[in-house]
Amino acid sequence: MPQPPLLTLLTEREPAAGLAVERLREQITTLTDQLTAAETEVAELAITRKTLLSLGGRLDAAAPTDPTVASTAYQQILAVFQGATAPMRAKDICRALGTGTTAKDTEGLRAKLKRLVARQILTEPEAGLFTLATATVVHGTPTNRASNEPTSPHRT
């Protein structure tokens, strides 16, 4: 007695689905190994930083203290603002960086800009317009945006 057509299709599809599952499990294993290595590196770097500080070593004062701001992407964004004379929109910053200006590009950049606003490095004086905060940390040192001179924490 022949199998119904639906059962034949299921029987033919099952091995391919099984192979897909195996490939995905292999990818998960690979990604898990990569994640473990990256987590180990982060932990080791934190231990190294803590050890250096406990020994009285000074970290490079020019290095940003916030790891997010230290990344190349954020440094490029901040460089655009260093030369800006007026608040900028995400699309304008995309153009200045030479990236795409599609909704995906501008929304991705807008998320980064919002993170910088949350860290008080940028301000958003109007919805969608971004500018450097009055006292901004550039390369780990607070500076006055108008003069680009280091600010004193005791200045009144």
pLDDT digits (tens, 9 = 90+) for 105-130: 889 999 999 988 988 889 999 998 99
DSSP 64: -
Q: Length of the chain, please?
A: 156
Q: Per-residue pLDDT averaged across 61-70, rounded?
A: 62
30 and 76 both lie in a single domain: no
84 and 46 both lie in a single domain: no
Q: Per mean pLDDT, which range of 36-45, 69-78, 137-146 is the poorest?
A: 137-146
105 and 79 both lie in a single domain: yes
Q: What CATH code is carried by the domain that includes residue 91?
A: 1.10.10.10
The per-residue pLDDT for 21 is 96
Residues 6 or more apart whose Cβ sits within 8 Å of residue 145: 132, 133, 134, 135, 136
71 and 32 both lie in a single domain: no
The per-residue pLDDT for 63 is 52
> Could you list the residue range(s) of the whole structural domain that residue 26 is in?
1-59
73 and 115 both lie in a single domain: yes
pLDDT higher than threshold 50 for residue 99: yes
pLDDT tens digit sequence for 9-61: 899 999 999 999 999 999 999 999 999 998 888 888 888 887 887 777 555 55
| Cβ–Cβ < 8 Å for 89, 129 | yes
- Domain tally, the chain: 2
The per-residue pLDDT for 64 is 57
50 and 77 both lie in a single domain: no
pTM of the model: 0.47
The per-residue pLDDT for 83 is 81
154 within a domain of the structure (yes/no):
no
54 and 71 both lie in a single domain: no
C-alpha distance from residue 94 to each of 6, 63, 122 (Å): 52, 25, 16
pLDDT higher than threshold 60 for residue 98: yes
71 and 140 both lie in a single domain: yes
76 and 43 both lie in a single domain: no
129 and 85 both lie in a single domain: yes
The per-residue pLDDT for 110 is 92
SS3 content of the chain, % helix, strand, coil (to 5): 55, 10, 30
